[in-house]
């Protein structure tokens, strides 16, 4: 069984998240980060090793989190990662929602199609326009019809998820687990991605505050990447809503970069593409992926003096931060940020 745990972290407890991940690693080495507040764990080996079923192991994780940190979590147990994440969203605080293999069809059938991972508001509106408003109806639709609506590959993959099929393994990021969560150092050996997150103290509807958080995240990632002599090839944006559901979108940069304005520009584009409007947002995380040495990355030369000036200022600001601390120099927009 796959376990998905979503920890209920007030902002002041966010620094405890890596330690919570370590608790899950005490049960199984197959642990994958789910920024900004959760983990996936493959319990297949752990069930055999400890001689306990998945429900008992989930209870152990909950008790340890409460004992060590005073924090509770919602846990989903299911045969694959997609179902486990959905089950965790259904679980209330302090409870475990278990979906056994013979219960998958019943668990999915009546859910709105928006509940499926990978279905945003635009895709949901398109599917509902064709009468495919529930997961069960999407699963039962002719494959050719779904693929004509969404495209061959997206249609096939989404219909598989609607049928409870997910071939994605739980992939632990080796020694880079803290980096995947946005904690630790970007320069640690083995890092393949780097992330940072922000939680809002209440449901945040203001898109200006969303963009401000994105700028802060892009600045943080840029500083850490440059400090480690690395660049990234793509960014992934994850938005967490008031109902604990999330949306994730990924897009490649025009060229590998650690330039904060380039990261911020792509983050803004990813956010705008979601069309959130009045969405009640509780947290935003940004993940830099495809990391590589900066000295091996090609940079397209330009004759834009503003770009060159911005990069020189960025280098000076990095030296000031290295000497006086990360808050020594911040963009004017963030000058009064907490």
Paired sense of beta strands 73-78 and 193-204, if any: unpaired
Whole-angstrom CA distances from 243 to 34, 298, 327 are 16, 42, 33
- The CA distance from 2 to 44, in Å, is 8
On whether the CB atoms of residues 215 and 333 are closer than 8 A, the answer is: yes
Residue 292: per-residue pLDDT: 83
- Cβ atoms of 16 and 37 within 8 Å: the answer is no
Which pTM value belongs to this model?
A: 0.56
Instruction: Give the length of the chain.
Output: 338
Structure confidence at residue 117 (pLDDT): 82
pLDDT, one tens digit for every residue, the chain (338 residues): 999 998 876 654 545 566 777 788 888 888 887 776 788 999 988 998 889 999 999 999 999 888 887 888 999 999 999 999 999 999 988 899 999 999 999 999 999 999 988 788 888 999 999 999 999 999 999 999 999 999 888 899 899 999 999 988 887 754 433 333 333 333 333 446 788 888 888 888 888 889 889 998 988 888 888 888 888 989 999 998 888 788 888 898 888 888 888 899 999 999 998 888 778 898 899 988 888 887 766 555 555 566 667 767 777 666 765 665 555 556 656 655 44
Q: Provide the pLDDT for residue 22.
A: 79
Partners of 98 in beta bridges = 77
Give the Cα-Cα-Cα angle 304, 234, 114 (nearest 5 degrees).
125
Under 8 Å between Cβ of 65 and 7: yes
Q: What is the pLDDT of residue 302?
A: 55
Integer CA distances (angstroms), 278 to 196, 209, 223, in order:
24, 12, 31
8 A C-beta contact, residue 4 and residue 54: no
**DSSP code of 193?**
E
Quick one: pLDDT at residue 97? 95
**pLDDT on residue 176:** 37
- How many helices and strands, by DSSP H and E, does the chain display? 13, 10
């Amino acid at each position: 069984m796959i376990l998905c745990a979503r920890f209920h972290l007030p902002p002041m407890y966010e620094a405890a998240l890596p330690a919570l991940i370590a608790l899950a690693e005490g049960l199984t080495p197959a642990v994958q980060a789910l920024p900004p507040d959760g983990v996936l764990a493959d319990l297949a080996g752990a069930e055999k090793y400890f001689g306990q079923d998945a429900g008992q192991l989930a209870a152990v994780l909950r008790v340890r989190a409460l004992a060590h940190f005073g924090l509770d979590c919602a846990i989903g147990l299911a045969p694959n990662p997609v179902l486990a994440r959905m089950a965790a969203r259904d679980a209330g605080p302090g409870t475990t929602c278990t979906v056994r293999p013979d219960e998958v069809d019943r668990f999915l059938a009546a859910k709105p199609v928006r509940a499926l991972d990978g279905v945003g508001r635009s895709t949901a509106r398109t599917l509902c326009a064709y009468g495919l408003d529930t997961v069960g109806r999407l699963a039962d639709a002719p494959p050719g019809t779904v693929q004509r609506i969404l495209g061959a590959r997206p249609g096939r993959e989404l219909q598989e998820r609607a049928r409870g099929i997910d071939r994605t393994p739980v992939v632990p990021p080796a020694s880079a687990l803290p980096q995947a969560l946005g904690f630790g150092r970007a320069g640690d050996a083995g890092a393949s991605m780097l992330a940072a997150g922000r939680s809002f103290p209440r449901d945040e509807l203001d898109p200006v505050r969303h963009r401000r958080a994105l700028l802060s995240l892009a600045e943080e990632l840029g500083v850490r990447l440059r400090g480690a002599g690395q660049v990234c090839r793509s960014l992934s944006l994850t938005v967490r809503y008031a109902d604990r559901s999330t949306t994730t979108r990924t897009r490649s940069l025009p060229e590998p970069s650690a330039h904060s304005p380039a990261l911020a520009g792509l983050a803004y584009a990813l956010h705008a593409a979601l069309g959130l409007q009045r969405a009640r947002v509780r947290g935003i995380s940004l993940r830099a992926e495809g990391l590589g040495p900066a000295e091996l990355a090609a940079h397209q030369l330009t004759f834009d003096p503003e770009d060159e000036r911005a990069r020189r200022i960025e280098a000076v600001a990095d030296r000031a931060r290295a000497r006086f601390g990360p808050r020594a120099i911040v963009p004017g927009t963030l000058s009064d940020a907490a």
